[in-house]
C-alpha cells in the first residue's frame, strides 16, 4: 500500500511540476532574472507548495501515517553554516542550470544529454555532501 501511495504521489508531483512550468529551464531562469525580464509566475507555484506543507506540518501533531511508521520531525528553525552553505550551493546550481532535483528527475524523459549531465553532477554532489557536512560541523580554529 505504501508503494502504491508513493507511486501516486510521485506521479502527481511530476505532473504538477510539468504543468507549473518548473521543468522548463527558461521559465525558471526567467524567474531568477530579477534585474532583466523577470517572470514572477513561479512565486504562485512556490506558494502553492509552501502553504499546504505548512498546514500539513500543523495538522500532523500526534497523528501517525495511515500506512504505518511516523511522520518526519519538523525541520530545525535555526540558521547555521550547513543550512546557509547548502542554500547557497543549491541556489547556485538552480541559477546556473534552471533545475532543482525534482524537476531534473521529471525532465529526464525529454531533457536530452543536458538533463543527464545535471543528474550525474547532482548525484556527485549528494555523494560528497556527507564529507562537506563533516567539514562544516568542525569548530573553527581558535585565533
Would you give per-residue pLDDT tens digits along the chain (143 residues)? 888 988 898 888 888 888 887 778 788 888 888 888 888 888 888 888 888 888 888 888 778 887 778 887 777 788 887 888 888 888 888 888 777 777 777 777 776 777 788 888 888 888 988 888 888 777 777 77
**Domain spans in the chain, listed from the N-terminal domain onward:** 2-137
Which DSSP category does 99 fall into?
Answer: -
Share of the chain above pLDDT 70, in %: 98
Angle at 140 between CA 138 and CA 143, to 5 degrees: 155
Q: How many residues does the chain have?
A: 143
Which pLDDT tens digit goes with each residue over 32-60? 888 888 888 888 888 888 888 888 888 88
What per-residue confidence (pLDDT) applies to 70? 81
What per-residue confidence (pLDDT) applies to 111? 62
**Exposure of 103 by Cβ count < 10 A (0-12 exposed, 13-18 middle, 19+ buried)?**
buried
Q: From CA 125, how far away is CA 108, in angstroms rounded?
A: 18
> Which among 125, 106, 92, 111 is positioned nearest to 22, based on CA atoms?
106
Q: Quick check: helix, strand or coil at residue 132?
A: helix
Q: From CA 61, how far away is CA 71, in angstroms rounded?
A: 9
**CA diameter of the chain:** 56
Q: From CA 109, how far away is CA 97, in angstroms rounded?
A: 17
Q: What is the pTM of this model?
A: 0.63
Amino acid at each position: 500500500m505504501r508503494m502504491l501511495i508513493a507511486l501516486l504521489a510521485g506521479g502527481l508531483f511530476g505532473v504538477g511540476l510539468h504543468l507549473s512550468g518548473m521543468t522548463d529551464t527558461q521559465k525558471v531562469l526567467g524567474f531568477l532574472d530579477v534585474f532583466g525580464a523577470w517572470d514572477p509566475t513561479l512565486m504562485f507555484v512556490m506558494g502553492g507548495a509552501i502553504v499546504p506543507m505548512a498546514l500539513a506540518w500543523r495538522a500532523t501533531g500526534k497523528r501517525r501515517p495511515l500506512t504505518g511508521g511516523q511522520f518526519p520531525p519538523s525541520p530545525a528553525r535555526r540558521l547555521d553554516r550547513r543550512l546557509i552553505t547548502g542554500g547557497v550551493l543549491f541556489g547556485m546550481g538552480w541559477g546556473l542550470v534552471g533545475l532543482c532535483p525534482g524537476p531534473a528527475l521529471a525532465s529526464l524523459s525529454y531533457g536530452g544529454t543536458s538533463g543527464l549531465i545535471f543528474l550525474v553532477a547532482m548525484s556527485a554532489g549528494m555523494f560528497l555532501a556527507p564529507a562537506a557536512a563533516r567539514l562544516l560541523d568542525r569548530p573553527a580554529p581558535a585565533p
